[in-house]
Amino acid sequence: MKLSNRKVLITGGAGFIGSNLIERFLKQENRIVCLDNFATGKKENIEPFLKNPNFKLIEGDIRDLQTCREACGDVEIVLHQAALGSVPRSIKDPVSTNEVNIGGFVNMLQAVREAGIKRFVYAASSSTYGDHPTLPKVEDRIGRPLSPYAVTKYVNELYANVFSDLYGIETIGLRYFNVFGRRQDPNGAYAAAIPKFIKLLINHESPYIFGDGEQSRDFTYIDNVIMANELAASTTNPAALNTVYNVAFGEATTVNELIDVLKENLSKFDPEIAKVTATKGDKRIGDILHSLASIDKARKLLGYDPQYSIKSGLEEAIAWYWESLK
């Protein structure tokens, strides 16, 4: 279902996922408000949109309620992507993670409530499944959170439920599974695995793997995530509202397999990359061993039909990184 001719607020719009959402929805003739404090988002991600008359940037922090109120003015739909991501970051600094991910989240819900906005779609997380052993992960079966970040994302779901019940806001949470793709930052201590590995391999440097590399993830290409957000923002199915969905492809890949696929694809540009080997070390605290999503609920209620496997997604992502990093 195509989203067009709507006024949409995207928090965290200068980030990896947020900027891709902005790009898609501007092309579909929506009016976009971007709220970002550039703590983790990058100004270059939104540079192409600044001269677009349908784009408005508000530089501000979701921890400030008045800023959230300003951003919600005349908005019809909110896509809430702003957060302090990363499990390791949350273990190092749980206070900041809590302030942004919970305090900022409640501020946004309150601003949405005051503005009379009906639809609030937010980035939830597969980390919510915690130590629950069952695979694939099904939305109504979760375990104990294993990190402060996971706690905050679960609390988001609880608050969304309460605001739906008390104030009639239509909330939809999208539990992202290891999203990757264009504009994802390969730099810094908390960079995600795929862009970090790609950059290291391009530079003929050895990727570092935590543990034996047999841990698996449901790596999810950015265009699948854009599809899920668009469906959640535009659905008219009452049964699809006030709940959460897994957003993934539904296929598990080990980190060792990931390295092999990256080397295979990157070697097409530079044959020397095939000779680079990974380094392995201790398991990282707070990490789960395996993650694989059931996407049956999203298929049934939202019409979610992801088009990009990890293989096809990596082909596109690697081509983008090769041009960007060389």
SS3 for 170-209, per residue?
A: EEEEEEECCEECCCCCCCCCCCCHHHHHHHHHHCCCCCEE
**CATH number of the domain enclosing 46:** 3.40.50.720
181 and 317 in contact (C-beta within 8 Å)?
Answer: yes
Q: Give the number of residues written for the chain.
A: 326
State the pLDDT at residue 38: 96
191 within domain boundaries: no
* Closest to 261 (Cα-Cα) out of 272, 247, 250, 273: 273
d(Cα 170, Cα 325) in Å, to the nearest integer? 41
Q: Is residue 38 part of a domain?
A: yes
pLDDT surpasses 90 at 191: no
307, 248 in Cβ contact below 8 A? no
What type of residue sits at position 42?
A: K
d(CA 155, CA 178): 20
Residue 78 belongs to some domain of the structure:
yes
Q: What is the mean pLDDT of the chain?
A: 95
Catalytic residue among 122, 149, 221, 245: 149
- Give the tens place of pLDDT for each residue, 213-237: 898 999 999 999 999 999 999 999 9
Number of domains in the chain: 1
Domain membership flag for residue 124 = yes
Rounded to two decimals, what is the model's pTM? 0.94
Asked if 308 is an active-site residue, the reply is no
Taking only the tens place, the pLDDT of each residue in 240-279 is: 999 999 999 999 999 999 999 999 999 999 999 999 998 9
Whole-angstrom Cα distance, residue 108 to residue 238? 23
Mean pLDDT in residue range 173-194: 90
**Does the structure show a pLDDT above 80 at 16?**
yes
Q: Do 304 and 214 form a contact (C-beta atoms < 8 A)?
A: no
Domain with 119 in it: 7-181+220-250+291-308
Largest Cα span, the chain: 59
Q: What's the pLDDT band for 120 if we cut at 50, 70, 90?
A: very high
Q: For residue 326, what pLDDT is reported?
A: 67
- Give CA–CA dist 203/273, Å, rounded: 8
Confidence (pLDDT) at 149: 96
* Residues 161/167/169/175 CA torsion (nearest 10 deg): -10
Contact in structure between 194 and 253 (CB atoms under 8 Å): no
